[in-house]
């Protein structure tokens, strides 16, 4: 991954101290080889001694629970050792400049024009973090931002949330603002909804802030409580496989499923306020759901069973019952395939091949579905056999999956202070 500190300094600071070329009256302004004005004052940059704060935030994997209760989600998740880094430094003007080092792209805005723009793409997530501190009433001037990351995009690993969290944590340190993680999660969620017009999942922010190395997290979305469990998979590898299946036009399908689950909860609760699926997880679920329309019953059945699986998986992790954990993970994928119906043939093939391999301790779809990614937990000695079984994927489906090895990593933190 790119070393973001020198890149940020090169892009924003060193240019400010280059000598200003002498010009005769009437000459047009000359530019440097990079196409930027040679004058440090005119660019608004404050020189090579300008303090820089750098923070990083990880991606994440949901092992269980991603398609869950719409009012009180429960997740078994972990941060992974792919991350986004954000560097921030001050300017002398009110401009906001953004540079994505690994894309070679630049965007710009101003503090008085801080709003979502479709063409700004990745920079909108940085602007979301800036808005948090605008709403806090923190006096702000112009700033330069550089980001770089190695989280694979568009496969359900929360790369966009990592940009928001890394930028917010960098700004919190840079501006020396005292704001706790819980409030930061709430304010990021509100800012994201304002900018993008749709709700963010606060769980992604919670994981990015609360994660610890080699630990699973059980996250309660309603209370924002986190339970950390030491990973018992010390002799295993965690493998992510991007199916490379195009995911086009699936948002309406996902919205239909969310509406089905919401309708089921309303019918089961019979008008009671504050009801959630967890209370039905402790009951005879077939009896409770017998009068629901079939499609709605299947969707909600997966949600209730998933709540039970997370509770059971927590116990398996605590007592290092790896075989029991594997059974729960495989059953969860069956629910996503048969009840919630968000899998696809390519993903199902990957999971089935993993399940047929001795030494695999669980495999499942992760992400929103209809393509995307699977995770597999495989013992070290079985890694070669597992990889050989996946080799047929390209021959059968016509394209090669992208395979990543990951580790359970720590949460967001500052890696360079001013």
Q: In which band, very low, low, confident or very high, does the pLDDT at 36 lie, cut at 50, 70 and 90?
A: very low
Question: How long a stretch of residues is the chain?
Answer: 418
Rounded mean pLDDT, 396-412: 95
Percent of the chain with pLDDT over 70: 89
Check residue 288 and give its pLDDT.
61
Check residue 37 and give its pLDDT.
36
B/e letters for 130-153, b = 16+ CB within 10 Å, e = fewer, are: bbbbeeeeeebebbbbbbbbebbe
**What's the Cα-to-Cα distance from 260 to each of 254, 267, 302, rounded to whole Å?**
10, 11, 12
Q: Are 157 and 93 in contact (CB under 8 A)?
A: no
pLDDT tens digits, 333-368: 999 999 999 999 999 999 999 999 999 999 999 999
d(CA 415, CA 223): 29
Residues labelled as active-site residues: 204
Q: In which band, very low, low, confident or very high, does the pLDDT at 42 lie, cut at 50, 70 and 90?
A: very low
d(CA 96, CA 98): 7
d(CA 409, CA 105): 28
Q: Is the pLDDT of residue 22 over 60?
A: no
Helix (H/G/I), strand (E/B), else coil: 145: strand
Check residue 307 and give its pLDDT.
93
**Could you say which architecture CATH assigns to the domain 4-228+411-416?**
2-Layer Sandwich (3.30)
Rounded mean pLDDT, 217-235: 96
Nearest CA-CA partner of 64 in 251, 339, 302: 302
Check residue 268 and give its pLDDT.
83
Q: In which band, very low, low, confident or very high, does the pLDDT at 30 lie, cut at 50, 70 and 90?
A: very low
Check residue 120 and give its pLDDT.
95
pLDDT tens digits, 227-237: 999 999 999 99
Q: Is the pLDDT of residue 143 over 90?
A: yes
In 39-190, the DSSP E strands lie at 53-64, 74-90, 95-100, 105-110, 143-149
Nearest CA-CA partner of 126 in 192, 200, 72, 64: 192
Q: Is the pLDDT of residue 406 over 70?
A: yes
Which pair of tokens denotes residue 133?
């501190």
pLDDT tens digits, 292-311: 889 998 998 999 999 999 99
Rounded mean pLDDT, 94-106: 95
DSSP string, 128-142: HHHHHHHHTT-----
Nearest CA-CA partner of 166 in 412, 330, 362, 417: 412
Q: In which band, very low, low, confident or very high, does the pLDDT at 398 lie, cut at 50, 70 and 90?
A: very high
Check residue 249 and give its pLDDT.
78
Check residue 68 and give its pLDDT.
82
**Distance of alpha carbon 355 from the chain centroid:** 27
Which pair of tokens denotes residue 403?
């395979």
Degrees (nearest 5) of the Cα angle 187, 193, 194?
90
Check residue 289 and give its pLDDT.
66
Q: In which band, very low, low, confident or very high, does the pLDDT at 284 lie, cut at 50, 70 and 90?
A: low
Q: Is the pLDDT of residue 130 over 90?
A: yes
Rounded mean pLDDT, 191-204: 92
**Which of 2-11, 198-207, 215-224, 339-348 is predicted least confidently?**
2-11
Nearest CA-CA partner of 161 in 73, 53, 58, 80: 58
Q: pTM, whole model, 2 decimals?
A: 0.89
**What's the Cα-to-Cα distance from 74 to each of 181, 186, 200, rounded to whole Å?**
19, 18, 16
Span 231-406: which CATH code? 3.30.70.890
Q: Are 244 and 410 in contact (CB under 8 A)?
A: no
pLDDT tens digits, 157-183: 999 999 999 999 999 999 999 999 999
Enumerate the domain spans of the chain.
Answer: 4-228+411-416, 231-406
């Amino acid at each position: 991954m790119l070393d973001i500190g020198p890149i940020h300094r090169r892009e924003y600071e060193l240019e400010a101290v280059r000598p200003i070329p002498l010009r005769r009256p009437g000459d047009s302004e000359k530019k440097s080889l990079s196409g930027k004005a040679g004058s440090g004052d005119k660019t608004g940059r404050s020189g090579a001694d300008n303090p820089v704060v750098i923070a990083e935030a990880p991606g994440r994997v949901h092992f269980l629970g991603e398609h869950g209760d719409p009012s009180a989600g429960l997740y078994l998740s972990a941060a992974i050792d792919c991350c986004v880094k954000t560097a921030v430094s001050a300017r002398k003007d009110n401009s906001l400049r953004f540079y994505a080092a690994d894309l070679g792209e630049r965007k710009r805005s101003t503090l008085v024009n801080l709003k979502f723009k479709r063409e700004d793409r990745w920079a909108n997530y940085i602007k979301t973090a800036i808005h948090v501190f605008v709403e806090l009433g923190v006096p702000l001037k112009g700033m330069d931002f550089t980001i770089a990351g190695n989280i694979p995009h568009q496969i359900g690993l929360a790369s966009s949330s990592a940009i928001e969290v890394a930028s917010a944590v960098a700004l919190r340190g840079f501006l020396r603002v005292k704001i706790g993680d819980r409030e930061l999660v709430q304010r990021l969620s509100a800012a994201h909804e304002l900018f993008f017009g749709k709700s963010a999942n606060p769980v992604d922010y919670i994981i990015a802030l609360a994660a610890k190395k080699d630990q699973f997290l059980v996250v309660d979305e309603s209370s924002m409580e986190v339970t950390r469990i030491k990973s018992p998979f010390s002799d295993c590898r965690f493998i992510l496989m991007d199916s490379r299946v195009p995911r086009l036009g699936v948002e309406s399908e996902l919205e239909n499923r969310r509406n089905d689950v919401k309708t089921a909860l309303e019918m089961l609760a019979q008008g009671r306020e504050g009801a959630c699926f967890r209370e039905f997880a402790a009951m005879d679920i077939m009896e409770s759901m017998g009068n629901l329309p079939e499609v709605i019953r299947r969707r909600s059945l997966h949600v209730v069973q998933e709540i039970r699986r997370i509770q059971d998986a927590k116990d398996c992790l605590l007592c290092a019952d790896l075989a029991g954990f594997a059974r729960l993970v495989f059953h969860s994928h069956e629910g996503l395939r048969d009840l919630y119906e968000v899998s696809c043939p390519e993903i199902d093939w990957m999971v089935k091949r993993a399940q047929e391999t001795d030494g695999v301790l669980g495999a499942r779809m992760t992400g929103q579905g209809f393509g995307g990614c699977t995770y597999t937990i495989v013992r070290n000695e079985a890694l070669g056999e597992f990889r050989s079984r996946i080799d047929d994927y390209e021959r059968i489906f016509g394209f090669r999956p992208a395979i990543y090895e990951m580790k359970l990593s720590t949460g967001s933190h500052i890696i360079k202070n001013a």
